């Protein structure tokens, strides 16, 4: 204060204070400007980050067209898989048929070799090539021989050598079959086929085996024995197929085809059953089983 008075004026201190205050305001204004710039930069950076995140999310989200293409590709793959399964089933069926045919041929060769080894007498009567009935149950093609007294059959009399003729053997097996004694009819029919493979009744005997198993399967199903019924149905399919393989020109073939298809349908093998019925319609359109096969095929396709 003494120094200020020596100058002779009070204005100088106020000028100094005013200058300092002005400098403070200037510095404060600069600080505010710097803070605003930083905030704007931060906001711009945040906006850029948000835009980047939105773009990444949009890229990761599948478009509707892409979903449609995926669904279409899935349907095409499912259709291709179905076609491949159908082709494999047909191939397996063809292989099973071929294996059955080979197995039957081997059995026939073995039976003939065994027959030659035994040197069994022929029985003196040649079998007639009669057309068997096309009904589901095999019917005898010859009149049954008399059990007592002289025979009045049309067939030529044969000497009593203890060996039954083909007609007698077939009649005995068919009698058991007609009375429902399938456990006796099956081995009797098998023995007939083994001993008389070239007989005109061989296809009827083989069909009788399949029909016996088919009837037994239905009886087991009615009795609540599902597992046994399935096994008997599978065996019936094999026996019916032997008729088709071993006697392709016999009149029992259409009937065997139809009954095999019925057995396959009961085994839930619908595709194979349809194939069998279609084969019957294609190759035996004039048979008595053709209308039945057509009706049954339409029912399976529904």
The pLDDT score that the predictor gives to residue 51 is 83
The pLDDT score that the predictor gives to residue 21 is 52
The pLDDT score that the predictor gives to residue 3 is 45
The pLDDT score that the predictor gives to residue 78 is 81
The pLDDT score that the predictor gives to residue 110 is 54
The pLDDT score that the predictor gives to residue 301 is 84
pLDDT in tens, the chain (302 residues): 444 444 444 454 555 455 545 545 554 555 555 566 777 887 788 888 888 888 877 776 655 666 777 778 888 888 887 788 777 766 776 666 666 666 556 555 555 555 454 444 333 333 333 333 333 334 444 333 333 333 333 344 444 556 778 899 999 999 999 999 999 999 999 999 999 999 999 999 999 999 999 999 999 999 999 999 999 999 999 999 999 999 999 999 999 999 999 999 999 999 999 999 999 999 999 999 999 999 999 998 87
The pLDDT score that the predictor gives to residue 93 is 67
Secondary structure string (H, E, C) spanning the chain:
CHHHHHHCCCHHHHHHHHHHHHHHHHHHHHHHHHHHHHHHHHHHHHHHHHHHHHHHHHHHCCCHHHHHHHHHHHHHHHHHHHHHHHHHHHHHHHHHHHHHHHHHHHHHHHHHHHHHHHCCCCCCCCCCCCCCCCCCCCCCCCCCCCCCCCCCCCCCCCCCCCCCCHHHHHHHHHHHHHCCCHHHHHHHHHHHHHHCCCCCCHHHHHHHHHHHHHHHHHHHHHCCCHHHHHHHHHHHHHHHHHHHHHCCCCCCHHHHHHHHHHHHHHCCCHHHHHHHHHHHHHHCCCCCHHHHHHHHHHHHHC
């Amino acid at each position: 204060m003494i120094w200020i008075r020596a100058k002779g004026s009070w204005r100088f201190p106020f000028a100094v204070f005013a200058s300092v205050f002005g400098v403070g305001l200037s510095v404060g204004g600069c600080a505010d400007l710097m803070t605003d710039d930083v905030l704007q930069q931060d906001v711009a950076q945040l906006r850029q980050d948000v835009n980047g995140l939105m773009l990444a999310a949009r890229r990761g989200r599948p478009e509707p067209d892409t979903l449609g293409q995926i669904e279409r590709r899935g349907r095409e793959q499912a259709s291709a898989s179905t076609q491949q399964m159908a082709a494999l089933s047909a191939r397996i069926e063809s292989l099973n048929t071929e294996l059955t045919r080979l197995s039957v041929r081997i059995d026939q060769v073995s039976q003939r070799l065994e027959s030659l080894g035994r040197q069994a007498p022929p029985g003196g009567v040649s079998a007639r090539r009669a057309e068997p009935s096309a009904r589901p149950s095999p019917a005898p093609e010859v009149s049954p021989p008399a059990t007592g007294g002289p025979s009045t059959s049309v067939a030529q009399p044969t000497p009593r050598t203890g060996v039954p003729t083909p007609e007698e053997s077939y009649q005995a097996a068919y009698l058991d079959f007609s009375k429902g004694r399938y456990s006796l009819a099956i081995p009797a029919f098998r023995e007939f086929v083994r001993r008389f493979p070239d007989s005109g009744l061989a296809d009827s005997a083989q069909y009788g085996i399949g029909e016996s198993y088919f009837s037994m399967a239905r009886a087991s199903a009615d009795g609540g024995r599902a597992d046994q019924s399935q096994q008997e149905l599978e065996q019936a399919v094999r026996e019916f197929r032997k008729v088709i393989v071993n006697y392709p020109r016999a009149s029992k073939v259409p009937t065997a085809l139809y009954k095999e298809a019925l057995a396959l349908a009961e085994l839930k093998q619908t595709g194979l059953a349809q194939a069998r019925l279609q084969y019957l319609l294609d190759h035996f359109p004039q048979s008595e089983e053709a209308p039945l096969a057509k009706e049954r095929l339409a029912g399976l396709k529904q």
